[in-house]
A and B are shown apart, each in its own frame.
Chain A
Amino acid sequence: MTTSGLLVLLGLTLSAGGAGADEHLLAGARHFREARYAAALVEFRVAQRLGAPEATRYAAVSLVKLGRPEEAVEAFGGLDGQGPDALVDYYRAVAAFEARLYVAAHRILATVADRAGPRIGEQAARMRADVERALHAEPAAATIDWYLEQCSAGRGSGRPVLAAAYCREAAFLSGRRPDGYRHAEALHGGGPASGQQGSGVKP
């Protein structure tokens, strides 16, 4: 093949490749709009592999709609901080809420209320009030046990982000008990409290 042919082929390939991710993104958005979340998820994952960074967030949002909040938490890459998009943060909070990561959900929702529109802001406020009611009582020891079990299960199933989120939740809740039930263990990421370095979990 001549050099000229190669140049044209390169041009065609680059154009097709650039458009490919966006086409899958658009197809995913259309599926999502029509409530076909499973199909949307597939499209977003393909777009993600083709190098569309925002597809990761959209895939996570699709997982929320599919009722798979634990996977969504992992796909969002964590529950820390405030994201650039209040709407995506709202879905992140819903994922946390449905995975029973209420403290994390509350923290995210606090950042959503002022940035999202009135409807989303109102929903966020209602969710926050709901979480506050649930967190009002002193947490039972069994509740902390449950969170630590989820932390351990998350680590065992290769979901480090989710595992860390559950341990952080356990650490926060155990810190609210006078006896600090399993607090050190929660701070150390669900492992034995002695002889290990912390995993950055903060109540």
Chain B
Amino acid sequence: MKTNWMCGVAAAGLIVAGRAGAQETGDAAHKAMRDAMHDQAAMPAGPAAMPDHATAATAVHRPMHGTADAAAQAARHQAMHQGTKDAGAAAHTEAANRAGMGAAMGGSMMGGQGHGDMHDAADKAKMKGMHGGMMGSGTDGGMMGGSGGTTGPVTPMPGTPMPSRDTGK
């Protein structure tokens, strides 16, 4: 009876400690995400252009956001955080990046089609990693599932190549 009581207290302690740790992680995540969202809040790729018949057969010119700008931003951030990142986090992000690049290349080779399916597959793989993670094996297993070919063109949308801001108006 006494042992059960002590184990109950221990379990409650674990829960409280776990929640406190999760709260700290959650707060850190929100702060990191807010800072990143703020730093990378870009303008749209082109000016507003009303679609019409003449534009209906061509795809919207939609360059990837955050390619040049965000790459530079990422390089700055990496330099800033180089000294503070722990090795595990670095390995995790690198593994994720490699997996993401591989999957993205695959998506590009397929002409960018079917990225939704690839995302589903990545999500499933990630979920497997997640279940492993809850049992203490971390998240890298999931990340190796890749992140889906997302750099290809999105759903074909009617539209014109958007005119330059300088000359199009």
Interchain CB contact under 8 A, B97 and A33: no
Interchain CB contact under 8 A, A32 and B134: no
| Chain A interface extent, by class | 35 or more
Chain A contact residues: over half helix, strand or loop, or mixed?
A: helix
CB distance from B73 to the nearest CB of A (A): 6
Specify which of A17, A38, A142 lies most central, judged by the most chain B CB atoms within 10 Å of its CB.
A38
Interchain CB contact under 8 A, B154 and A68: yes
Chain B residue nearest to A126 (CB atoms) is B43
A3, A15, A126: which contacts B14 (Cβ < 8 A)? A15
Q: Find residues 70-129 in chain B having any chain A CB closer than 8 Å to their own CB.
A: 70-71, 73-74, 77-78, 89, 92-93, 96-97, 99-100, 103-104, 119, 122-123, 126-127
CB distance from A25 to the nearest CB of B (A): 4
CB distance from A33 to the nearest CB of B (A): 4
Interchain CB contact under 8 A, B123 and A70: no
* A188 interfacial by beta-carbon distance below 8 Å: no
Tally inter-chain residue pairs, CB-CB below 8 A. 259
A10, A34, A45, A98: which contacts B123 (Cβ < 8 A)? A45
CB distance from B113 to the nearest CB of A (A): 13
| Chain B interface extent, by class | 35 or more
Specify which of A61, A100, A126, A139 lies most central, judged by the most chain B CB atoms within 10 Å of its CB.
A100
Chain B contact residues: over half helix, strand or loop, or mixed?
A: helix
Interchain CB contact under 8 A, B25 and A34: no
State the CA gap A20–B17 with chains docked (Å): 14
Q: Find residues 68-109 in chain A having any chain B CB closer than 8 Å to their own CB.
A: 68-71, 87-88, 90-91, 94, 97-100, 102
Taking Cβ atoms with an 8 Å cutoff, the residues of B that contact A are 3-4, 6-8, 10-15, 17-19, 21-23, 25-26, 28-30, 32-45, 47-56, 60, 62-66, 70-71, 73-74, 77-78, 89, 92-93, 96-97, 99-100, 103-104, 119, 122-123, 126-127, 130, 133-136, 139, 142-143, 145, 147-148, 150-151, 154-155, 157-159, 169
24 contacts between A and B (CB under 8 A): A4-B4, A7-B4, A15-B19, A22-B23, A22-B29, A35-B66, A35-B71, A39-B99, A39-B100, A41-B147, A41-B148, A42-B123, A46-B142, A54-B30, A65-B40, A69-B154, A97-B48, A100-B157, A117-B38, A126-B43, A127-B44, A133-B47, A146-B52, A150-B157
